[in-house]
Amino acid sequence: MRRTMVAGNWKMHGTRASVAELINGLRHLALPGGVDIAVFPPCLHITQVVDGLKGKSIQVGAQNSAVEAMQGALTGEISSSQLVDAGCSYVLVGHSERRQMMGERDGTLNRKFAAAQACGLIPVLCIGETLEQRESGKTLEVVSRQLGSIIEELGVGAFAKAVIAYEPVWAIGTGLTATPQQAQDVHAAIRAQLAAENSEVAQGVRLLYGGSVKAANAVELFGMPDIDGGLIGGASLNADEFGAICRAAGN
Ligand code: 13P
């Protein structure tokens, strides 16, 4: 059985003071057993969050990492090895905001994914289509290409120690959520693509849904057979709402 997972992507939000408040809220949450929970603060706040959540079963991840695994001369970047040293367990790879705004391409993302795994970080590969791509019937083609890039470069076995997040771009931060069936259809296609290469890997990998997940829609989404949890943006900035989503995943 796959363990469900709920991850909170804080994006570029927070000050030391607001992060301290959020940590305090998270520390007071009653969390369900059997669910892996992680938060992804801005890099600047990772050590504050790691220290602040000591003893609470919430892991910490980064939102991005360098193409190189080890530290070196790469101004402005942070390596996977440094993230591990800071206490991270996970790193997001290829969030659509970085694909779109920072121009991150599959080749770069393959390197980031490999560098993360080389250091023992678990990459959370984010994939998903834009509204235009969905409306022109290209959803599965786009998602399959994004996933296929890692499979071709690193082999399907790379997903034995990775998580995949399906985040339709049109559902991110818009209040528009994919219906549980729309999300399930894409998740099933992702799992089938992996299964064509290795059924054991396909059955084991967690597929998270992201895009305007809230406590109010989480139960229905997480109830679908191929949805193993969520990657939460806006709602993860509110500890009580995030806790309610975590409990929905525990049901
Ligand atoms: P929202 O939950 O704010 O739509 O963001 C989703 C997301 O991008 C998580 O990575």
pLDDT tens across 220-237, in order? 999 999 999 999 999 999
pLDDT tens across 107-139, in order? 999 999 999 999 999 999 999 999 999 999 999
Distance, CA of 157 to CA of 251 (rounded, Å): 30
Residues whose CB falls within 8 Å of the CB of residue 199, separated by 6 or more in sequence, listed in order: none
Distance, CA of 44 to CA of 34 (rounded, Å): 30
Residue span of the structural domain in which 140 resides = 4-250
Residues whose beta carbon lies within 6 Å of some atom of ligand 1: 9, 95, 167, 172-173, 210-213, 231-235
The structure tokens 């209040």 sit at 175
Residue 176: its pLDDT value, please?
87
What mean pLDDT, rounded, does the chain reach? 97
Strand partners, 97: none
**CATH number (domain holding residue 65):** 3.20.20.70
Name the active-site residue from 95, 97, 129, 187: 95
Q: Judge contact between 179 and 213, C-beta under 8 A.
A: no
Residues whose CB falls within 8 Å of the CB of residue 240, separated by 6 or more in sequence, listed in order: 25, 29
- 187: confidence class by pLDDT, cuts 50, 70, 90: very high
Question: Is 1 a residue whose pLDDT tops 90?
Answer: no
Question: How many domains in the chain?
Answer: 1
pLDDT tens across 9-49, in order? 999 999 999 999 999 999 999 999 999 999 999 999 999 99
Q: How far out from the chain centre does Cα 56 lie?
A: 20
Question: Is 144 a residue whose pLDDT tops 90?
Answer: yes
95 is catalytic: yes
Based on the number of CB atoms within 10 Å of its own CB, is 206 exposed (0-12), middle (13-18) or buried (19 or more)? buried
